[in-house]
Amino acid sequence: MWIVDRIEGEFALCETEDREIKPVPLKALPAGVLEGDVLQTGPEGFWIDREETAKRREKIANRVKRLQKR
């Protein structure tokens, strides 16, 4: 599992499971990839794990709500 940390120019900087940041050319990723998307890899290349991405975004939104209540 890789997570798109940010997009800079023609590269997506992705955090790996080892917490390393690796540049990946956007042309190697699925069309429409966004910051925060969870990527899985397979023989055909990368694909967006929509279910895991939604879970992570919900978790982050809940954290932000809790912090705003303070």
| pTM for the whole structure | 0.83
Report the DSSP beta bridge partners of residue 7.
Answer: 12
pLDDT of residue 47: 96
Q: What is the pLDDT of residues 14-55, one digit of tens each?
A: 999 999 999 999 999 999 999 999 999 989 899 999 999 999
Judge whether residue 69 has pLDDT over 90: no
Sheet with 38-42, strands from edge to edge, namely: 21-25, 11-15, 2-8, 38-42, 45-48
Q: What is the pLDDT of residues 5-17, one digit of tens each?
A: 999 999 999 999 9
pLDDT of residue 29: 96
- Integer Cα distance of 69 and 14 in angstroms: 31
List C-alpha distances in Å: 13 to 30, 37, 63: 14, 11, 24
